[in-house]
Amino acid sequence: MGSSMKPQVGDRVIIREHVAADLPDYADWQCDPAVGEYVSFLPRTREEAEASLRDAIEQQTEPDRVRFFVAIEHKDNGGILGGAGITLIDEHTGDIGWFLRKEYWGLGYATEAAALMIRFGFEDIGLRTITAVCRKENSGSRRMMQKCGFRFERATENRLEYTLTYTDWKNNAADRHSGS
């Protein structure tokens, strides 16, 4: 399972595989306490960010790839806005995450990047279900779940769990194209 992702191009953002030269920008958001406020594995130290980027790059050529962690890039100027990722839980299920550098919050970039990542997950990885989890206080991420069409599944003590099935995603896309 798994292979390298071709760049996925949206209106304003591109998601693409990481390269080693991404490190300064990657570490910038990975080590930022504001980005990590509601994320259990963030913020990272510079060394941890470096190891995480190395893993993301190694995964690109892994025959049994389980992590698709990619850069979100600005389409016009190539600047790195943040990152998105899908981690496979099994052959047909992947868990998604999204992260923007703080200066780019509130501009719609995350929603656009998430839509590209979701399409890649369903159409290229071949997933049937995408799951997502966020902390209850993470209002921005909760709103993104709604905007991307995720269904709320359950709440645990401090987390909210969501799913998006291929069928729901396809039907939502059909609704959008018919203008309803």
Ligand X SMILES: CC(C)(COP(=O)(O)OP(=O)(O)OC[C@H]1O[C@@H](n2cnc3c(N)ncnc32)[C@H](O)[C@@H]1OP(=O)(O)O)[C@@H](O)C(=O)NCCC(=O)NCCS
Looking from the CA of 149 toward its CB, the CA atoms found within 13 Å total 20
Figure out which of the listed residues 140, 155, 167, 170 binds ligand X, where binding follows CB under 6 A: 140
- Which of 27, 56, 110, 115 lies at the binding interface for ligand X (CB under 6 A)? 110
Q: Should residue 14 be labelled a site residue for ligand X when binding is judged by CB under 6 A?
A: no
Contact between 106 and ligand X per CB under 6 A:
yes
Please count the CA atoms within 13 angstroms of the CA of 77 that sit on its side-chain side. 3
Residue from 143, 151, 170, 176 binding ligand X (CB under 6 A): 143
CB 97 within 8 Å of CB 29:
no
Please, which residue, 98 or 150, has the CB nearer to ligand X? 98
Residue 95 makes CB contacts below 8 A (sequence gap 6+) with: 86, 87, 89, 130, 131, 132, 133
Query: Site for ligand X (CB under 6 A): which residue of 5, 116, 144, 160?
Result: 144
> Is there binding between residue 108 and ligand X (CB under 6 A)?
yes
| Cβ contact 94:125 at 8 Å | yes
100 contributes a contact to ligand X by CB under 6 A: yes
- In the bound state with ligand X, the residue whose beta carbon lies nearer, of 97 and 149, is 97
Return the C-alpha torsion angle 125, 4, 54, 46, nearest 10.
Answer: -70
Calpha distance 148→145 (Å, rounded): 5
158: contact with ligand X by CB under 6 A: no
Between 64 and 157, name the residue whose CB sits nearer to ligand X: 157
Residues of span 20-59 touching ligand X by CB under 6 A: 35, 38-39
Stretch that binds ligand X, among 1-9, 50-58, 109-117, 120-128 (CB under 6 A): 109-117
Chain mean position to CA 46: 21
Pick between residue 98 and residue 120 the one whose CB is nearest to ligand X: 98
For 174, phi and psi rounded to 5 degrees?
Answer: -65, -40
Binding stretches for ligand X (CB under 6 A) = 35, 38-39, 97-100, 105-111, 134, 138-141, 143-144, 147
